[in-house]
Structure 1
Amino acid sequence: MSVEEVCQKIGNIDIIEANMLASDFNGASFGSEENVKILINKNIDNHHRRRFTKAHELGHTILHIFTGKQSKFQCSDNDITYNSGNNSEYEKEANIFASSLLMPSKLIEKEIHRNDLSWRLIQEIKNMCDVSLEAATRKVISLSKEPCCLIIHKDSQMWAPIKSDSFNAYINAQSFPDNLNYSKETDNFPDSLEECDAMDWRIDNKMRLHYSSIYNSEFARIMTLLLKF
């Protein structure tokens, strides 16, 4: 079900898409318990970002505006980025709502529990839910019972790892290891992981690790799946 269809079922939410000149404006939601307008920047050229923004603003509408907590939100790219440590609780809640709406846990869990963790699996979930590769990976990691994590490198900088509940190893910030390889994105993503030395990631060398790294062209970053054995 699309975000627009959800809004139609609720009945008092209007989504408006308009060309906004401000480059840091993604979306806004404003109104009251009676009626809410959701405004989306039509100039967002990434389809997945625009779709997630709609779901994010719907989250504000249902969780915060309809409940009388706040009447207006204006959201930048930073507000709709999981990596931002500066997000308010309301922005975090809207992100969680958007993720749950676009990628229902019951649907994703079925795929996770009957398949091995791989980029191929995540690609299938990405396509099934029409979300970005990063959003799909974060959802899979959050639901996985395996000790796994996602490491993202952007402009040679490593973001804070996204870990499953059972992945308890600490990973220091570092550049992408010189002796490891990453695959360019293709129609068919890797369907397996390779063993690597734990010291490649500056982790206790007694630990067995498998990894698979790809270059994500959608957001120009290297994304690595790590699985602990």
Structure 2
Amino acid sequence: MIDDFTRKEIEKISHNILKESKSFDIFPTPVDKILSYSDFALDNKIDLQNIDDSFFDSFKEKLVDPSKKALMHALSKIKGFFYREEKTIYIDAELDKNLGKKNFVKLHEIGHGVLSWQNEVILALDNDETLSEEYDEQFEAEANYFASLTLFQHDRFLEECEKLSLGLGAVMEISKKFGASVHSSFRNYVLQSKNKCALLVLNHPVNKNGFVNTLTTRDLFYSKKFLEEFGELQLPDEFGFKWSFVQDFKFKKKFHENGVISLNTKEGEDLKASYHFFNNTYNSFVFFFPKGEKNRAKTKIILK
């Protein structure tokens, strides 16, 4: 957890960098411009899955276990890392296939570099676990908070949300505007929303015959107003075929905004809700909100 004082310090640093680099209100968020202002070099040509042995030598002494085996184990899993002595950020070349994730990883590594109290971190190795915005190790959580704030330009994100109708279609448009991943955009949308809404993120389990009919919970997020009105939902960790959004997944629906569902709260109340569904091949996203909940859109979205 990040305490309130540290959170405010990160907000000040992020705001100053966006302002001084003249990145506020530039869309998509100009991450490379921010990187240049921060005075770090970037190396994004490395295939971290197939690194030449000689690359390891200069990093061995930076690990608690300086063996080549330990370093290879660490590097085989990471998406990016920051090396303070060379003021260099390394990004896995494979992230070229996912611009939103690549932008977040860059800003996460910049965070390690610009948060002055992290100066003791000489080598920061980051994988999918540490890059999760729910990861709670102190320095990684701080770098993730910096990355999210900066990518979504502080209050600019909520301002854009309020222009659009309630739903995943709006968030997909916002993710393009800021240059962010859909997953990160969905999460921030719900956590910052002034509406009553919740987001269920589902894993896609597989066996040797392909995808199975059971989806498992990866994340569950609630807006503040949802929790105030209903509390948490009573949901299982695994969802079988009786759930309509699992049927959406199994019948290969990519996206829709016309789901209707009955849910139970942990207080035992029945909630009649609408839901939107999106499958990005990696995860399925189910966006819940009570029937009748809506925004008055100021901008019309046309999905292509």
TM-score interval for Structure 1 and Structure 2 normalised by the shorter chain: 0.7 to 0.9
Relative CO higher for 1 or 2, CA cutoff 8 Å, sep ≥ 6?
2
8 Å contact kept, 2:161–2:174: no
In the aligned structure 2, how far is the partner of 1:114 from the partner of 1:43?
34
8 Å contact kept, 1:105–1:143: no
- The aligned counterpart of 1:101 is 150
Which runs of no fewer than 5 residues in structure 1 stay unpaired?
Answer: none
Whether 2:275 is the aligned partner of 1:211: answer yes
Equivalent residue for 2:180, pick from 131, 135, 152: 131
- The aligned counterpart of 1:2 is 30
**1:102-181 equivalent positions in 2, closer than 5 A:** 102-154=151-203, 155=205, 156-168=215-227, 169-171=231-233, 172-176=235-239, 178-181=242-245
Structure with greater helix share of residues: 2
In the aligned structure 2, how far is the partner of 1:160 from the partner of 1:3?
27
Q: TM-score, normalised by structure 1?
A: 0.82
The residue type paired with residue 227 of structure 1 is F
In the aligned structure 2, how far is the partner of 1:222 from the partner of 1:47?
19
Q: TM-score, normalised by structure 2?
A: 0.63
- Over the matched positions of the two proteins, sequence identity in percent amounts to 18
Q: CA RMSD in A?
A: 2.5
Q: Deviations over 1:7-49 (max 9, x none)?
A: 2223x311112222343021111226xx621111213343322
8 Å contact kept, 2:80–2:105: yes
In the aligned structure 2, how far is the partner of 1:141 from the partner of 1:112?
10
Deviation at 1:140, TM superposition (A): 0.8
Which one has the largest radius of gyration? 2
Which runs of no fewer than 5 residues in structure 2 stay unpaired?
Answer: 1-28, 51-74, 206-214, 292-304
- The aligned counterpart of 1:30 is 83
The residue type paired with residue 164 of structure 1 is S
